[in-house]
Structure 1
Amino acid sequence: MRHFRNIIDTGSINVETDVTCLVGMNEAGKTAVLTALHRLKPVDGSTFVTQHDYPRWMLAKDRRADIIGDVRPIEAVFTLDDAEKEMIAQEFGEGVLTHDEVAVYRKYDDVTQWWDVPASEPNAVEALVQRLDLPEDIAVAVGEARTFDDLQARVRDLADEGDADAGDPDEGEVREGAQDRKEALARVTNAVADLVGDATLDKAISNMLSAYLPHFFYFGEYSVLDGRIDLLRLAQEQPQETGSTSDQTARSLLALAETTPQALSSDNYEDRRAELEAVSNDLTEQVFEYWKQNPSLRVRFDIDRTIENDPQGHARVTKNILDIRVEDTRHHFTNNFSQRSSGFRWFFSFLAAFTEFESRNDNLVILLDEPGLTLHGRAQADLLRFINERLAAVAPVIYTTHSPFMVETGNLRRIRIVEDQGPKVGSVVSQEALTVDADSLFPLQAALGYDVAQHLFIGSHNLLVEGPSDFLYLDLISRHLGNQGRSRLDERLRILPAGSSSNIPAFVALIGRELEVTVLVDSGTEGTNRLEAAMEAGRIQQNRLIRVGDIIDAKHADIEDLFTVEDYLPLYNTAFGRRVKEENLGGGDRIVHRLQQLHGKFDHYKPAEVLLRDPKRIDGLSETTLDNFEALIQRMNRVLE
């Protein structure tokens, strides 16, 4: 996103295929990100309006510089799947796409949807000429064309030459050859017209792909159903985009029941109301799969009519109100939908809008702005389960939050942090927890703190490792070395598994600000460079970042490489019931990678678990293995000196 509201340039935002969570303070720019993305392919034709959407403090200056027309307030890059690439190859020829990513963007005060398509026009022209099976002389004459315009020009030149050389019209053989030539040239002209028409190649391909571009389903606080809906006003107003307003959510509810405001306003509305309640019962049942606060609620509908006399004294209906009521079967009372808890109203309203949208079978991305904002922690956990199980199974989900209970500490890869860095920089979106300020980190910090408080004992000296296998190897072998009178891990060091290498930078950012953290990482993992940057920034003391590879003088090494191959293979074979021998392994310096080449990825914990369940195996470890672990332990202990 660029130059939109409080955004100057968010930077590139990588979106997960399942769920992406935008975390940040109020007014950080989270809603602006969703709004810009929503306008990439709006159903209602909404555009980016300079006067309303351009950053106010930049508007006058950029207008004078005449650069606003070139700004792309939203630009999204999509990767084509195999079916889409095959479709383009079938239509335009093999090799027309130079790579499999396309960019789609919008401009200010412009209803056009713009595309950047990586297409090779020379390849497309060549494929078309080959496909037409032209006479050899024509194929040679047009074969050097590099663009469709050039191809058409060459065809016109050949046609003019044919007219000039047609010869005596009484000569039948000449006339027949000229006719064949004319038909071949016409085939080229018609084929170009069918393929690209008056458009460019990029435009022709984007026209084909536009049907596959997802719709963006946006749902925010203004989309929740009202308890009383004016059916007359609903009938008179123009429909809007699904989920955009409370009234439009009401239209979605009526559409699911296959009814209209006009039908509900008629005298024989009872049948319509029965259908409406059948739909609401189905939605309520879906709500209760995830809403555990009060399962005794039922939604009911009634029509509240206002009858007035006209000037002639005739009674007429002036207002039809759809009254949505909620029955509490446990406490035996009903009240208006708007008086129920905001959580129940959000769930029911969202399902009404989403289910109607989903029924269209469109390709979509779900955008949720601060979902479950007023729910307490456990109810927000229910909402997260709803997002993961119900929504992410259907489409990618992007949601915003500043609640720690809407942050999954087990899926830190999903987190993107939104931070407003002031007028000169604007709102930026980052995946790097190590680079943002404490206020922006707070939801993440609180979520992790809540999780850590339930699962870990935090000491004054913390040793952060990648996973439970690292924990087991260090703990078991350290104890063995100590029993042998050799170096063991200092008892002041508390080992904390982070879950994966990608989680370590976030853990360092969150607990390393206040506590002394030593980090053990496999050399060459995805988080190593980020940790080295943190070390350079002073977030981690230089001697507290320990790479396994430094112990055994290897550029790429996992903790498993501290074992000799002869020591590790029995653990692996026992864990997975295999008979791998050293001669079966491929090349490389990492035992894990060499085993993956044979049998694919595997759970690193299982070989460690073999050692845990049969500690006598430690007695059989080679001196080389024990020396490697002892060297690592001595390196760790030195951080306490």
Structure 2
Amino acid sequence: MPLGEVKYDYIADYPRKDLVRYRPQHETGQYQRIVELSFRIEKPLADRINKEVFGGAEVVAPNSMFTRDTTIGNTSTIGFYVDEKVALAALERTLGDLEHKSEVFADVASLIDVLTKIEALELPADSKLAAFAAQWRARVIKPKGWGLINGHIWHTYLSPSLPKFLYFDDYKLLEGKINLPALQKRINESRLTDADETAQGLLQLAGTTLQELMGEEGYESAKAKLEAIGLNITQKIFEFWKQNQDLDVEFDLKSDSKDVPPFNSGINLYIRIKNRRHGVTVPFDQRSKGFIWFFSFLVWFDAVQSRAETKDALVLLLDEPGLNLHALAQADFLAYIRELAQQHQIIYTTHSPFMVDSTRLEDVRVVEDRIKDGTKVSGDLAGSSDESLFPLQAALGYSIAQNLFIAKKNVLVEGPADLILLQHIASLIEAEGKPVIGDAILVPVGGLDKLATFVALLGSNKLKLAVLHDRASAPHQKLEDLVRQKLIERKRVLDFSMFIEPQPSEADIEDMLPLEIYVSAFNATYAKELAGRNLEIGELGRHPRVVERINQWLKEKGILLLKDGGFNHYRVAQAAIPMLTVVNMKPEYLARFEKLFSKISEVL
């Protein structure tokens, strides 16, 4: 479902080894189905359909599915069906107690039958039944051949909600100079090149038009306009391009009869990059390939919705973006991707470890060309080949190198709050002359999902790993899969509930601590935000995890500490550390951690 006019070409796109056999079939209209997309009708859309079409009756179930199939001949079929009997019953209820209602809805198979019966009654045009029939007869039914109800729901609600796909590659690079009359001619003739589309994006981003640039005006007016455009573009580009901030984008309009066609006829727009450090300008296309790519990508996408005349969110498909960018420039590009992702869904392919966001490894999918199966896309990192995993391992290695050192024995914990609390209490126990975890190190990985990813990526590197995670009400599926695949032994997967008696159904590290100390640390951390409304232990609910009990209290009191709710566990852990002394901890609490450290030493 491309935003533009892209279509399949069976000569170029059909598997070549089968083309001779398939060609006669295609030429007689027997097209092969090649794509099936499955869509879910989410609750807000289902509720809207049910309210507007069926008076609130649930005919279209929330989260129900439908499909859209596409053939190599660019034809499509929709797999969507509403139970006609249920729909008719709902429509009948919307008409209340009208005369003739039961008569026209009796013994009918479709809405067409109902409308035919109503029209046969020859009721006055202003009667409710006649208006009902006229309203349905006037509705556009697409695709042809559908029933009135299915066709109306598809055309009015589902089809407009389908996402459009937009693809970007290296062919859409911006050129350093643009002949404005030639660009205008290609626009008039509807034969724009990829570079032309990017040039249009540049004009949109600059807040100007082709007609405005080609208009005749005095020197001062033209100069002011060009400088304004240059300043506007410079500000937007260098919000994300951090590699060299001593650059400015400058524009110039000039005719040059000595240039090659078409630049020797009419006005040219020149794009130049000024280096403030050296005080010189160079043509845009003489800058590095990475800068040209980054610049072109940003101006193309920044105005894509207005040029496409759509307000809908898009699915952006990027093929190997940023190949020519420096590693740190790829990080800049990821920052722009994160901003785009607030509005659009983005899918991109890469071989570069610097294009892998190490904070979102759970979003990564591996693409492999398997001999018997063909190309497979999978989130199962554990079952992927070494070649496929290499970019992920490199990305993870880079992240680790920036933050910590991996020893031969590692205890993977979920977050920095776990790390600092365990380190502090280990030092208390060690000061008493008791053993803790020896030469093993604690490694925070940023959440339970990433724990599973770390095990899958590092487990084959001859490292001894143990996992210490929060206990939720149900086992974590990814960790269970790793145990089943024998990537980590069951005995090395530990959770905090194992060291609390009686054993709770759920537990975090915070549940290993004295409750009064943690509540005091919470109140001290957020004293300003709470404005005197201190949390009291007696106000906490009955959830097994103290973190969730505090979250519930905040919600009940209408206190918003973080944008998405909850509170910062790391800040509270920091405040708790000075309070966690041998005296305050009491023997029973220290015994929990002694048992934990003993178990870690045992399994490693």
Q: Please classify the TM superposition score into its range, dividing by the shorter chain length.
A: 0.7 to 0.9
Pair 1:592 & 2:547 matched = yes
1:50 counterpart = 2:10: yes
Q: Residue 193 in 1 paired to residue 137 in 2?
A: yes
Partner residue, 1:342: 289
Distance 1:181 1:409, change over 3 A: closer
What is the CA deviation profile of residues 193-237 of structure 1, one whole-angstrom value per residue up to 9, with x for unaligned ones?
245657433332232233344443432211111234465664554
Q: How does 1:231-380 map to 2 (within 5 A)?
A: 234-235=183-184, 237=186, 245-254=194-203, 259-260=209-210, 278-292=228-242, 293-303=244-254, 322=268, 324-330=270-276, 331-359=278-306, 360=309, 362-365=311-314, 366-380=316-330
TM-score (norm 2): 0.80
Give the Cα separation in 2 of the matches to 1:114 and 1:269: 58
Q: Give the letter aligned to residue 404 of structure 1.
A: P
Paired position in structure 2 for 1:34: none
Contact persistence 2:467–2:493 (CA under 8 A): yes
Residue equivalent to 2:154: 206
**Structure 1 position 541 matched with structure 2 position 501:** no
Count of aligned positions: 569
* 194-203 vs 416-425, greater mean Cα deviation: 194-203
Judged with a 3 Å threshold, the aligned counterparts in structure 2 of structure 1 residues 571 and 334 are, in CA distance, closer, same or farther, namely closer
Matched letter for residue 398 of structure 2: Y
Whether the 8 Å CA contact 1:417–1:440 is kept in 2: the answer is no
SS in 2 for 1:613: helix
Give yes or no for contact 2:43–2:62 (8 Å, CA) kept in 1: no
Q: Distance in 2 between matches of 1:132 and 1:273?
A: 67
Unaligned runs of 5+ in 2: 528-532, 556-565
Q: CA 1:159–1:405 in 2, change beyond 3 Å: closer, same or farther?
A: closer
Of the three residues 442, 445, 450, the one matched with 2:390 is: 442
2:431 matched to which residue of 1?
Answer: 483
Sort the Cα spacing of 1:325 and 1:531 in 2 relative to 1 into closer, same or farther, 3 A.
same
Q: CA deviation at 1:497?
A: 0.8
SS at match of 1:442: helix
Distance 1:437 1:384 in 2: 26
8 Å CA contact retained: 2:250, 2:274: no
Work out whether 1:522 is the aligned partner of 2:470: yes
Which residue of the partner structure matches residue 602 of structure 1? Answer: 567
Aligned residue in 1 for 2:93: 130
User: Structure 1 vs Structure 2: percent identity of aligned residues?
Assistant: 30
Q: Which residue of 2 aligns with 1:153?
A: 113
The alpha-carbon distance between structure 1 residues 534 and 259, as it changes in their structure 2 partners (threshold 3 A), is same
Q: How does 1:538-577 map to 2 (within 5 A)?
A: 538-552=486-500, 553-563=503-513, 568-576=518-526
2:303 partner SS? helix
Provide the rounded CA distance (Å) in 1 between the counterparts of 2:268 and 2:372.
49
User: TM-score, normalized by length of structure 1?
Assistant: 0.76
SS of 2:367's equivalent?
A: strand
Aligned to 1:174: none
Match of 2:357 in 1: 408
* Counterparts in 2 of 1:394 and 1:299: CA distance versus 1, 3 Å: farther
Alignment of 1:382-393 (within 5 A): 382-389=332-339, 391-393=340-342
Q: In angstroms, what is the RMSD of aligned CA positions?
A: 4.1
Find the aligned partners of 1:563 and 1:221 in 2 and give their Cα distance.
56
Return the match for 1:628 from 581, 592, 596. 592
Q: Distance in 2 between matches of 1:605 and 1:505?
A: 22
- What residue in structure 2 maps to residue 225 of structure 1? 174
Match of 2:165 in 1: 216
Equivalent of residue 494 in structure 1, options 438, 441, 445: 441
SS in 2 for 1:48: coil
Deviation at 1:140, TM superposition (A): 1.9
Q: 1:446 to 1:216 in 2, by over 3 A?
A: same
Report the residue type matching 1:225 in the other structure: L
SS of residue in 2 equivalent to 1:73: strand
Q: In the TM superposition, what is the alpha-carbon distance from 1:182 to its structure 2 partner?
A: 11
- Find the partner of 2:458 among 483, 506, 511: 511
Quick one: which amino acid aligns to residue 447 of structure 1? A
2:558 equivalent in structure 1? none
Q: Give matches, 1:54-69, under 5 Å.
A: 54-56=14-16, 69=31
Unaligned residue ranges in structure 1 (runs of 5+): 1-39, 163-177, 309-315
Q: How many angstroms apart in 1 are the aligned matches of 2:34 and 2:85? A: 29
Instruction: Determine if contact 2:449/2:478 at 8 Å carries over to the other structure.
Output: no
Tell which has more relative contact order, 1 or 2 (C-alpha 8 A, sep 6+).
1
